[in-house]
Amino acid sequence: MMQEQDNYQTFISRASEFIPQQRIITDYLRTLAYGTDASFYRLLPRVIVQVANENEVIRLMALATELEVPVTFRASGTSLSGQSITDSVLLSLTPDWKRYEILDDGHQIRMQCGVLGGDANRYLAPLGRQLAPMPASIDAATVGGIAINNAAGMNSMDTYGVMASARFVFLDGTVLDTGSEASRSEFRKRQPEMIAGVERLSKRLRSNPVLSKRILRKYEVKNTTGYGLRALLEWDDPVDMIARLMIGSEGTLGFISEITHNTIRKYPLKASAFLVFPDIRTASLAVTRFKLKSTPVSAAEMIDYFALKAVQNMDGVPDYIVGLPEGATAILVQAEADRQEVLESCIDTILADIEGLDLVVPASFTDKPSEYQAYWNIRKGIFPAVGATRPKGTTALIEDVAFPIESLADALTDLQQLMQKHGYADGVIYGHALDGNLHFIFSQGFGSAEEVNRYERFIDEVCEVVVNKYDGSLKAEHGTGRNMAPFVRKEWGDEAYAVMLEIKRLFDPLGILNPDVMITRNPKLHISNLKPMQAVSDIVDQCIECGFCERMCPSRNLTLSPRQRIIGKRELARLDGEQQQGFADEYDYMAIDTCAGCGLCSTVCPVGINTGDLVRQLRHDRYASREGMSEWIASHFGTVAGAAKAAFRMADVSHGVLGSKVMGQATRAARKLSGGKIGYWSPEMPTAAPKVIVSDRQGVQAESVSSNLKVVYLPSCSSRTMGPARGAEQQTSLVDKTEALLRKAGFEVIYPEGLEAQCCGMPFKSKGMFRQAESKANETVQMLLEASNNGEIPVYCDTSPCTMQLKDHLDPRIKLFEPVDFIHTFLMDKLEFEPVAEKVALHITCSARRMGLDKKIIEVMQACSSDVVIPDQITCCGFAGDKGFTTPELNASALSTLSHQVEGCKSGYSTSRTCEIGLSHHSGIDYQSVVYLVDQCTQPKVM
């Protein structure tokens, strides 16, 4: 034990010679948070090293080999079977692995391993192409993780089948780029033993026709259990065999640094239908017909009765789902085509192929995108729907198996009965039925020996049914992992398993690459190191730790992501005494202080969790003793706002923290931050409704005292207390610019009475001052109700976050619009747009995204400029009201890739003044409200 500890200390010490210290992590909180994946297992790494390039991986693997220290690789941590956890050394990707290159007009794409699958599809979309693998986690999983687990999806196409080439790093540091003849030749020279060993294994299998036939037949059914033995039979060059053995090897044979995919066509026309059958057997017979008759369905997803009940209240679910008879099972089918007549022919064929089978509901296809997309959202929503209703303290456990299509009906009946037998009453079955691949989900607790024993008995019986009764696959697309490693020999038999053992020895003679995954001597591995799921808050208890949220979080590369905040909170609840206090001290900064509270996590969370709500609750608990101060600020908001203006005037800076306890600190930080780019305070607000000024095309102004068009203008706190960036049109304030634009479109502008003392409540809410936030929001809503004549006149708010905050408290009579929403709705037909001939940057705020305004904002910007740049992978800017001043490292981290993406842009635009401060500082260009650009490029229409 002492020697082992010394080896880890030596590893850390020597790694620090070429890895920056901040990327070597050993503290309790971060090793736990960064080392937990989406599975129901938990191990605590001794050390996490964040690797930024291939050379670092090579040197670290050499060091691990020398010290015989086990190593595991991790990308996004979306693995469901425990493939990316360890109690040793975890090598985790930094955000640097994002380079890609589109080849052959999109027919191929070369990507570093850290590119997200969803991002790759966005890059390919303009060319009408997409990646072939379609796992449910594609938006959160990296292409390296998808490849190394050989994940598939509804179309059952996997990396093994579409990989054009890849670049691998092996344990001894050898690099193989299968797309380079020079690299292949060099690999043969450097790895003669591996080459000879793979050739020997290939000959061994080919000389055994019975085993060869069995192997190939098993891959006719989807299969990711164990190593991909088909590579030894389907390829002749040992280099190609080695490359394909790496696919699906789950990090147990080496590291994948780059991959080139052959892409597939993204068809423009689609049609989908829910085909509802009376029971799972009849539904299975329908799928069997589709498969055997080669029916033109691109997907056939089974949804059993219990799954249908779980999603029956989701948006877009057909009304008849609620009243289905017990046992009814649906097949969600899809057809795709280039032309309408081809699509209609496909539909006719599908209906003909199920003729004679009982249907509970008459078959009906839709080719309307809004409707069929709703159907597929329902399909995607099954896992979260079940997860959201599971008992507290349990895990939503998901497994996937596959059966030969001819036995699907009997097999699924058996599986359904097996779940009921073991008491999994909430268990559901759904999945890619066309390939005999079904997922089953159930709630499983591991808090007692009886619960663990029940799970063990169930899995044992599942293995018996899948393997011995139907000769199916224990794992079809989620990888072998820790939960099926003990059963690999059972599925494949001794002879095939012996070949797998030899593959492991050839690639990893020391057995230090991701030990126990795929190959294990522990028959109880699947019930070892089970993850506790402590109940901590109604806000987040339904979190399944999938990691889908992480790509949206502005603090993901600085401290913690939403998933990691929840992991830490659960651990905090388990600890006590001195250990708890030390953990809590770290948690305060990592989880609470550096959370932007933007809520973007909720937009991609399978169960809709807004981790910002948890953090605000924690802030509320922390600031409870300061209730009196926050109450005074809320009651004297006009006074505080005036003080803020004075502070900004002294700092010569725009500043958005109204009534903050850290005004002094923020002002000092703002003065330092400005760098000559931040503007001045706003002029005083007008106290009476201004005249309406309409400009004609010659610039001649005509005055009018009234208009049939009226709008109530609500300038936000930030607009009232600070001005534009220095370069923004001679420092015209946003209030003045907005008023001018509204007048130009023919609107009479009305300012609410008592405006200076009002606020949407966001500054209070973000700090957990809920009562004060509620009070200020309600006061503002009442003010707007009076100003709008009880909702008769629309209300324009010039800042996205304030608009969203008020919408949560809005009187239903009030028609409240965010700035671009108002422009898109009311001004596009009243103004002539003449796009500027310049490259401009756009930042869509987190609140605008959450209100679903992305499309409208882009349309308005594209009407103003022919070259709009939306920086990639920048979600929330991280300024978060006053965080840009008090915790500037959050803003810096969130925008770390901004400057190079906006090179060549003359200016930038957004819809939140505080966001624009940080965007300006970190981009090198001036950001201001979209209103400035709209005003610049529009004239009133001549009637």
What is the reported pLDDT for 399? 87
Predicted model pTM? 0.91
- Hunting for tokens 């080392």 — which residue is that? 35
DSSP symbol at 466:
I
Beta bridge partners of 429: 440
Beta bridge partners of 261: 109, 163
What is the reported pLDDT for 658? 32
What is the reported pLDDT for 104? 97
- DSSP letter string over 301-362? EEE-HHHHHHHTTSTT--GGGTTPPTT-EEEEEEEEESSHHHHHHHHHHHHHHTTTS--SS-
What is the reported pLDDT for 2? 64
Dist. CA 623–CA 659, nearest whole Å: 14
Coil, strand, or helix at residue 177? strand
Please report which residue ranges of 35-77 form alpha helices under DSSP H: 54-67
Coil, strand, or helix at residue 743? helix
Dist. CA 7–CA 13, nearest whole Å: 10
What is the reported pLDDT for 646? 52
Mean pLDDT for back-to-back runs of 10 residues, the chain (943 residues): 82 97 97 96 97 98 97 95 96 97 98 98 96 92 96 86 97 96 97 97 98 95 95 98 98 98 96 95 94 92 92 86 93 95 97 95 94 87 81 87 92 92 91 90 92 96 96 92 96 97 98 96 96 93 93 97 98 92 95 96 92 95 67 53 52 38 40 39 43 34 57 91 60 91 96 88 90 92 95 96 94 96 96 95 97 96 96 95 92 96 96 94 95 96 76
Radius of gyration of the chain (CA): 30
**883 in Cβ contact with 858 (< 8 Å):** no
**911 in Cβ contact with 857 (< 8 Å):** yes
What residues contact residue 518 under an 8 Å CB cut-off, 6+ apart?
A: 226, 227, 249, 250, 252, 480, 485, 488, 500, 504
* The 709-714 sheet, strands edge to edge: 747-750, 709-714, 795-797, 816-817
Residue 756: HSE in the Cβ half-sphere, 13 Å Cα cutoff: 16
Nearest to 776 by CA among 920, 917, 638: 638
DSSP E strands, 78-135: 89-93, 100-103, 108-112, 129-130
What is the reported pLDDT for 578? 87
Coil, strand, or helix at residue 81? coil
**330 in Cβ contact with 277 (< 8 Å):** yes
Other CB atoms within a 10 A radius of the CB of residue 245 amount to: 25
